Amino acid sequence: MHPVRLGIQSITGMLAISLASFTVINSMPADPVAIAIRVWNLPATDETVAALRAEWGLDQPLLFRYCDWLTRFLTGDWGRSFRTGEPVLGEFLERLPISLSLGMAGLALAIVFAIPLGFFAAAHPKGVADRFSRTLSVFVQAVPGFWLGLVLLWVLGVQLRWIRLLAQDWTAAVLPILLIALHSVAVLARVYRRDLMETATQPYFRTALAKGLSERQALWRHGRCGALYALLAAVRSEAGWVIGSTATMEILFGLPGISQFLVQSIAARDQMVLQAYVMVIVLWMLVMNGGAYLAMRFLDPRLA
Amino acid sequence: MPSKILSGLTAALLAASVFVAASATAAAEPLRVGATYITSGTDPAKGSNGWALTSHGVGENLFTVDKEGKLVSELAEKAERTGDLTWTITLKADRRFSDGTPVTAKTLAAGFDNTFANNKAALATGGKLNFEAAGDLTLKVTTEKPVPLIQSLFAEWPLIAYKPVGDGNAVFTGPYRIAGFKTDASIKLEPNAYFAASEKRSPVEFRKFGDAQTMTLALESGELDLAFGLPSEVVTRLKANPELTTKSFPVGYQYLAFFNTTRPLLGDVKVRQALDLAFDRKELSAAISGGEPATGAFASYFPFAGRQARPTDLAKAAALLDAAGWTKGASGILEKDGRPLRLLAITYPQRPDLVTMLPVVKAELARIGIAVDTQVVENISQVAAAGDFDITLWAQHTAPSGDPAFFLNSMLRSGASLNYAKYASPDFDAILNRFAAEGDPAKRVAIALDAQARLFADAPASFLVSPVWYVGVSKRLKNYEPWGSDYHVLRADIGEAK
């Protein structure tokens, strides 16, 4: 697919998702004005209700509100949070870097570890790397990340004193990133291995062996690009899981990222925040998809 | 020889400088405090920020409740009644805000006016109050409704004293001032230089934990000096740690269950009464390893508390449900017109004991054939305000100002701002109206007991456990004495060992 066509499709998709999500979010039960009056203990007069509805634009027809929101959103005015009263963009800019850093670093680390693990698992089926990656895969599926995080905090923070639980610098992110990466390493390594194993069944692989290459050399020379292609395809779906898993880590490690903020915003029916979050996630997925697509195109020029 | 002397002197000088530097560092080292809550903002008129800012040691009231539960003056010197609805409050001289400006009647009046305009909870006891500065230290107050004890009203959490400085910002008078605030994460506090003995206090880093277990681990790893609100199950483990001290204290809080009286299944008083009778309060107390079965709306040490623990009677509960038309279905769950008696019970993680109690509540109600779905929600105030629940487990200090009227008025009076049960009873309201005209403490006790009797009959809420809470402290705060629930976590007398 041509990048221009991909771009047009992405923009169309974003608009469609923004309209659908705006409709759904605005149709959620419970009136945000009623919630705000209760939570902020505002005088529940008709004047207060009318003032809040006007301030938040809730007195306008849905389509008008959507067009108004979209125009503002595209010009950098993401509205004000119903819950905190602060500009949504500011709230996101304060918190989003933490969540995105966690997610991206976790994913990058997972890719870095998954490639050698998957390769050695494929090169030596039933060997140490293969058994380890299989065990890891079962382990991360079976053990909740929250529980594993608590155990690691106890072992590394309390018993061994290797990490500081309340670190205010970059070290605070090390363990959450490792935990996020752990799940993806297991998934991506198995994908990488599976593709390499398929390569090993191909006639050209046997030809390479006949030419005198060792199995490991043949796998690396003739299998790595195809396996990397498969791995990048898997990264696209893993990206969604990674950004979701940051929520658990933020709560466990007390990191003030966007996920904690989102949980509270859902409870408050904070429509501006929820809509902005949907758009950020869509953007994240588009960027990850686009990045993976470009990388795959580089690996396989037939895509061009 | 001179070179040896020189070397010795240099070494001594170096050692001394290291020692001095280390001492200076230690002196500037902030106290590290952890809890599962933090103020949601610095605007004292919004939501429950008034309570949180006082709890953080930032704000004060005109009057407050001391550690013996007595009502005492704080910023005010005295209050005198001058008419049915009018009072004159004399402020203490020489008190200053944290920006150095004097505390005057005019500045406090501006703050209170802002609170009454923006916080409905402030209206609970006396209705709308009007303030007029009659001098630098004389504040005239006119209440909308008769208030028998204005001191108690001014000890209520919404009425934190402050000087508004525009755009939701304010300056306070407490022992600490805000030096930095990160929403949902932490607040940095410095000693308020204009509060007595400020030189004896260290700065504080107050950190919010999303999870109480993580907070416990931070205490164990030596990264907290005070962990407030430890889960009871970790107390035995912490007591074995020689570096830490664990303290428990009785609190005025009550753990209770609000029943959403507007939901179809709980609109029937017989069903609510059955729920109340089905709770085994001894079992609930045992589950959280700390507390006593509740006797009513107030902790048992208050004079206006019930004298006997609320009863458990499964046979009577079953009879009530039978009378309400609920019969056992094939699955063992009660049914009526083919509809199962299935309820949604919610609570919130900021009170770990409530999370522990939630499955016990589910099991207890299952014994009388009621199915319960459970949920732990992060932001209970919003969910409860939206009414998205049948039962909500709740922790509430029911006599924060040493008087029973505030809780009953603000959380159970018809139409009250925090009436999550949406309980509406003219009879109950009539009982509460008697508080407004009665100043005799003994007669106020009788009114509180009458109100509780009405609540027991109508069952908009079930009072479950009067808890004790736990705090863990490092050696640096071994003299910290917890009291006043979570209304005064950080105080002037924090007990730091220097």
pLDDT one-digit tens code per residue, B277-299: 999 999 999 998 888 899 999 98
Helix (H) or strand (E) holding A242: helix A215-253
B185 touches A at CB < 8 Å: yes
Structure tokens at A107: 């994913």
Q: Which residue has the higher pLDDT, B226 or A81?
A: B226
Q: Is B369 left (phi over 0), alpha (psi -120 to 50) or beta?
A: left
Residues of B within 8 A of A42 (CB-CB) are 118-120
Tell me what the mean pLDDT of segment B234-263 comes to: 92
Q: CB–CB of A256 and B118 under 8 A?
A: no
Residue B231 to residue B245: CA distance in whole angstroms: 15
Cα separation, A137 vs A114, whole angstroms: 11
Å from B222 to nearest chain A CA?
8
Per-residue pLDDT tens over the stretch B400-457: 777 888 889 889 999 987 899 999 999 999 999 998 878 777 888 999 999 999 999 9
State the CB neighbour count (10 A cutoff) for residue A147.
11
Q: Could you check whether B28-59+174-249+469-498 and B253-466 share the same CATH topology?
A: no
CATH number corresponding to B61-165: 3.90.76.10
Q: What is the dihedral of CA B229, B231, B237, B241, to 10 degrees?
A: -10
Fold that domain B28-59+174-249+469-498 belongs to in CATH = D-Maltodextrin-Binding Protein; domain 2 (3.40.190)
Answer for the pair B469, B229: CB distance below 8 angstroms, yes or no: yes
Q: How confident is the model at residue A134 (pLDDT cuts 50, 70, 90)?
A: very high
- pLDDT exceeds cutoff 50 at B22: no
Q: Are A153 and A164 in contact (CB under 8 A)?
A: no
Q: How confident is the model at residue B13 (pLDDT cuts 50, 70, 90)?
A: very low
* Mean pLDDT of the region B362-380: 92
- The pLDDT of A74-84, averaged and rounded, is 84
* Buried-exposed string A224-250: b where 16+ CB fall within 10 A, e elsewhere: bebbbbbbbebbbebbeebbebbbbbb
pLDDT at B40: 82
Q: B90 at the A interface (CB within 8 A)?
A: no
Please tell me whether the overall predicted TM-score, pTM, comes out greater than 0.90 for this model: no
The per-residue pLDDT for B96 is 97
Q: What is the pLDDT of residue A52?
A: 78
Share of chain A above pLDDT 90, in %: 27
Tell me which of B124 and B237 has the higher pLDDT. B237
What per-residue confidence (pLDDT) applies to B23? 42
Cα dihedral B266, B267, B271, B273 sign: positive
Angle separating helix axes A88-123 and A128-142, nearest 10 degrees: 140
Mean pLDDT of chain B: 89
**Distance of alpha carbon A303 from alpha carbon A297, whole angstroms:** 5
Q: Does A80 touch chain B (CB under 8 A)?
A: no
Query: Average pLDDT for residues B301-323, to the nearest whole number?
Result: 93
Q: Choose the closest CB to A264 out of B118, B221, B379.
A: B379
A–B: how many Cβ contacts below 8 A?
114
> Interior CA angle at B332 toward B328 and B333, to 5°?
70
Nearest-Cα distance to chain B for A25, in Å, is 16
Greatest extent of chain B over all pairs of C-alpha atoms, in Å: 105
**Which pLDDT tens digit goes with each residue over B311-321?**
999 999 999 99
At position A205, the amino acid (one-letter code) is F
What's the number of CA atoms in the CB half-sphere (13 Å) around residue A218? 21
ipTM for the complex shown = 0.70
Per-residue pLDDT, averaged over B176-205, amounts to: 94
Residue B183 contacts residue A81 (beta carbons within 8 Å): no
Read off the pLDDT of residues B324-368 as tens digits, 9 standing for 90 and up.
999 999 889 999 999 999 999 999 887 888 999 999 999 999 999
Question: Which residue on chain B is closest to A30 by alpha carbon?
Answer: B386
Please report which confidence band the pLDDT of residue B26 belongs to, taking 50, 70 and 90 as the band edges: very low
Per residue in B401-416, pLDDT (tens digit) is 778 888 898 899 999 8
Residue A254: pLDDT band by 50, 70, 90 thresholds? Answer: confident
For residue B325, is it left (φ>0), alpha (ψ between -120 and 50) or beta?
A: left
Q: Which residues 262-291 of A are in CB contact (within 8 Å) with B?
A: 263-264, 267-269
In Å, how far is B314's CA from the nearest CA of chain A? 35
In this predicted model, which residue has the larger pLDDT, B237 or B210? B237
Contacts of B388 in chain A (CB under 8 A): 29-30
Average pLDDT value for residue range B28-55: 89
Asked if B32 and A166 come within 8 Å (Cβ–Cβ), the reply is yes
- List the 212-251 stretch of A: residues with Cβ below 8 A of B: 250-251
3-state secondary structure chain B: CHHHHHHHHHHHHHHHHHHHHHHHHHHHCCEEEEECCCCCCCCCCCCCHHHHHHHCCCCECCEEECCCCCEEECCEEEEEECCCCEEEEEECCCCECCCCCECCHHHHHHHHHHHHHHCHHHHCCCCCCEEEEEECCEEEEECCCCCCCHHHHCCCHHHCECEEEECCEEECCCCEEEEEEECCCEEEEEECCCCCCHHHCCCEEEEECCCHHHHHHHHHCCCCCEEECCCHHHHHHHHCCCCCEEEEEECCEEEEEEECCCCCCCCCHHHHHHHHHHCCHHHHHHHCCCEEECCCCCCCCCCCCCCCCCCCCHHHHHHHHHHCCCEECCCCCEEECCEECEEEEEECCCCHHHHHHHHHHHHHHHCCCCEEEEEECCCHHHHHHHCCCCEEEEEEECCCCCCCHHHHHHHCCCCCCCCCCCCCCHHHHHHHHHHHHCCCHHHHHHHHHHHHHHHHHHCCEEEEEEEEEEEEECHHHCCCCCCCCCCCCCCCCCCCCC
The encoded tokens of residue B295 equal 């006797």
Best mean pLDDT range from A56-70, A162-176, B18-32: A56-70
Query: Would you state the pLDDT for residue B334?
Result: 96
Model confidence over A275-301: pLDDT tens digits?
A: 999 999 888 888 888 888 888 888 777
CA B461 – CA B428 distance, rounded (Å): 13
Q: Are B182 and A84 a contacting pair at CB < 8 A?
A: no
Beta bridge partners of A87: A80
Provide the token pair at A53: 């509805």
Range B241-252 average pLDDT:
90
For chain B, the structural domain boundaries read 28-59+174-249+469-498, 61-165, 253-466
- What is the rounded CA–CA span in Å between residue B279 and residue B358? 12
- Range A203-226 average pLDDT: 89
CATH number of B253-466: 3.10.105.10
Residue carrying structure tokens 């094939």? B330
Which of 6-65 (A) contact B at CB < 8 A? 29-30, 34-35, 37-44
Say if A165 is an interface residue toward chain B (CB within 8 Å).
Answer: yes
Residue A94 burial (CB count, 10 A)? 16
pLDDT digits (tens, 9 = 90+) for A136-182: 999 988 988 889 999 998 998 888 988 888 777 788 888 899 999 99
